[in-house]
Amino acid sequence: MGRTTLVIHGGAGTLLKSEMSAEKEAAYLKALTESLEAGNAILTNGGSALSAVEVAVKSMEDSPLFNAGRGSVFTANGTHEMDASIMNGKDRMAGAVCGVSSVKNPVALSRLVMEKTDHVMLAGAGAEEFGREMNVPFESADYFGEEWRYKQWLTVKGTDETALDHNINPDRKFGTVGAVAVDKMGDIAAATSTGGMTNKKYGRVGDSPIIGSGTYANNATCAVSCTGSGEYFIRGVVAYEVSALMEFKGLTLQAACEEVVHKRLIDLGGDGGLIAIDRNGIPSMVFNTAGMYRGYIREGEEMHLAIFE
């Protein structure tokens, strides 16, 4: 039996302490704490890493603070299109959904895709049809229609501009959420969920639901969840790249994460960050922006929370 560990993120970007009120900072730290506590309760009771990451991500999907689930941003049509994925490191089984508009917790539907179908990814109306067959909770548009997200959309509505989440300059913040964990059996897992880009068109899908780009887990190496400029994470196959550097070049988890985030991603022109974990429960939280909502809890240690660099 090893030491359990859970790591989470709530998005990376230009997060400046000077631009964040004490009340807003406290609200984010509270939401991160609740996510860690929910997932860690699974691990301490002998539950699986897969269940822990699902529960941790669901907690953030239920919060209006993050661009996932309830807090998802608006598309160019004034709707919501959410993406999510989950992966089990023990057998490398994975599930994902993209372009769902009324599923309360896309990460939970992703797990059902993994466990109840022969597929990895379901999209749009088909994914929602499957969700209804599985009796997952659905919500009306009002549930996802946070007023501040609506005002954010109005600043770019009717233009070709897209925005990544909710800063004054919204291009500087990425609100994807994610979790990685290792359980008492040494199995690892990863999950990621997002509402995508404000004012996105044409059913755009980012890296979050794409296995190997935004999410990856393999017991032999690591589990990874990414946040950032999705097109670059897709082109760089970022989540898998971390695993490959460990497997084929013998890099440590931290060295692999730093190589990918601080060199390979930047060489492509991308920015953002990731969280990762190995079977020994060693956490890594690396980003090339000014900040990333993040935290982890290891068995026998105090909880660690941070926002700024």
Average pLDDT over residues 86-92: 98
Check 4, 162, 176, 227 and give the catalytic one.
Answer: 176
19: pLDDT confidence band, cut at 50, 70 and 90?
A: confident
* Distance (Å, whole) CA 221 – CA 252: 9
At the fourth CATH level, which superfamily is domain 5-308? (Glycosyl)asparaginase (3.60.20.30)
| pLDDT reading at 42 higher than 50 | yes
Q: Residue 33 catalytic?
A: no
* Distance (Å, whole) CA 176 – CA 72: 9
276: pLDDT confidence band, cut at 50, 70 and 90?
A: very high
Residue 251 neighbours by CB distance under 10 Å: 18
* Distance (Å, whole) CA 286 – CA 171: 20
pLDDT computed for residue 168 by the predictor: 37
| pLDDT reading at 173 higher than 80 | no
| pLDDT reading at 155 higher than 70 | no
* Distance (Å, whole) CA 171 – CA 272: 11
Angle between helices 106-116 and 124-133 (to 10 degrees): 80
